[in-house]
Structure 1
């Protein structure tokens, strides 16, 4: 009976905390964290979370909270190098990371068309996206990131509707080793196998979806 009472109490406590955490997440996103270095996310990622590609700031709206939290921790660890995100990530507390990533995840996703591998690719970018180039051991992007690049679970983020400048910058980062937070160096291998023309083409392709 005592254990049952604890379960009931725990459930009520969680229900009471969740709205507060959501409010905290929105506050952090719009006003910043408790430490001076934790600048407001809205500054770069915009009020709707759709980002600002002219500055290379990505769309984060609707992404998995688990994925977003991992990226913040990876900036802290130096697995992703970024002069803007390093001090911000380092200044956020664990509670703030959890709250703000849950808020980001709650923002409306970009709506994208359904594209399957049955489609005949048009152009270099779409060819790489839905067919890859197996002669060079380059898998199609949709094999991991889902049909049309919509994203899969907590590991593979959406590509569709993401900014072209940001996507190209990440492929360059994997090429150069300034981003090394992918499992088994999968993205590192793929990025190093791509030409500059191919990077631009596939980045432009995914950026053009969902508009």
Structure 2
């Protein structure tokens, strides 16, 4: 039996562990283990655009699970997320990923970016920058940023500040969970202005229906 870690679980007793492992909603709420999900990522996974905390609602379940695994094994560097992910079992990380993937949550209102900035980002998303051998974002992330499975997440409706921070993390080498180093290569070709434009464009897009969880696939 895996030892109980964290004060919250001490209140639950050993008999509650199987319930936690299979129920992502239970894990996010007191006295569940990952009670810090909600204060940062929102009650319904909407994130906090002003703080650059990402939206989780509707992201691909396999992608979310891979990110939690990355925080746990050091492939992604974030002190807070390391503490949270390392305190979760494999089954609990999977349950959380499925829980957030199934959410349909409206996009929080944000101040609109300058239309010229959004237009510049739309162009990069569609065609990239041929002069710098930079591919369009949509080639991997799908039309209108609606994702392309576990490797390339949905960007539509994600906060601009978070996308900016993520691209700079790729540049700094603090994220290493992409296949074949694709994102590190792309991020290092983007200028600061291009990063801001792409981020503004994807934030401006509407949020689509949630990505399917493994359990809901035919």
* TM-score (normalised: structure 1): 0.79
Which structure exhibits the higher relative contact order, with contacts defined as CA atoms closer than 8 Å and separated by 6 or more residues?
A: 2
Aligned to 1:27: 26
Mapping for residues 117-132 of structure 1, pairs under 5 Å: 123-132=119-128
Contact kept in structure 1, 2:151 and 2:179, CA below 8 Å = no
Unaligned regions of 5+ residues in structure 2, if any? Answer: 1-18, 108-116, 208-218
Mapping for residues 169-184 of structure 1, pairs under 5 Å: 169-184=165-180
2:190 aligned to which of 178, 191, 194: 194
CA 1:31–1:187 in structure 2 vs 1: closer, same or farther (change >3 Å)? same
How far apart in 1 are the matches of 2:20 and 2:94? 8
1:66 aligned to which of 62, 68, 71: 62
Contact kept in structure 1, 2:170 and 2:176, CA below 8 Å = yes
Per the TM alignment, residue 135 of structure 1 is displaced from its structure 2 partner at its CA by 2.1
How far apart in 2 are the matches of 1:143 and 1:102? 25
Q: Deviations over 1:65-123 (max 9, x none)?
A: 11111000001111111121110001111121121111111111668xxxxxxxxx973
Partner of 2:79, secondary structure, is coil
Q: Does 1:103 find its partner at 2:99?
A: yes
Q: Larger C-alpha radius of gyration, 1 or 2?
A: 1
Contact kept in structure 1, 2:145 and 2:202, CA below 8 Å = yes
* TM-score (normalised: structure 2): 0.76
1:40 aligned to which of 16, 36, 55: 36
Per the TM alignment, residue 39 of structure 1 is displaced from its structure 2 partner at its CA by 3.5
Aligned to 1:93: 89
How far apart in 2 are the matches of 1:40 and 1:186? 31
Per the TM alignment, residue 170 of structure 1 is displaced from its structure 2 partner at its CA by 0.6
Unaligned regions of 5+ residues in structure 1, if any? Answer: 1-19, 112-120
Aligned to 2:153: 157
Contact kept in structure 2, 1:30 and 1:47, CA below 8 Å = no
Partner of 2:23, secondary structure, is helix
How far apart in 1 are the matches of 2:21 and 2:82? 24
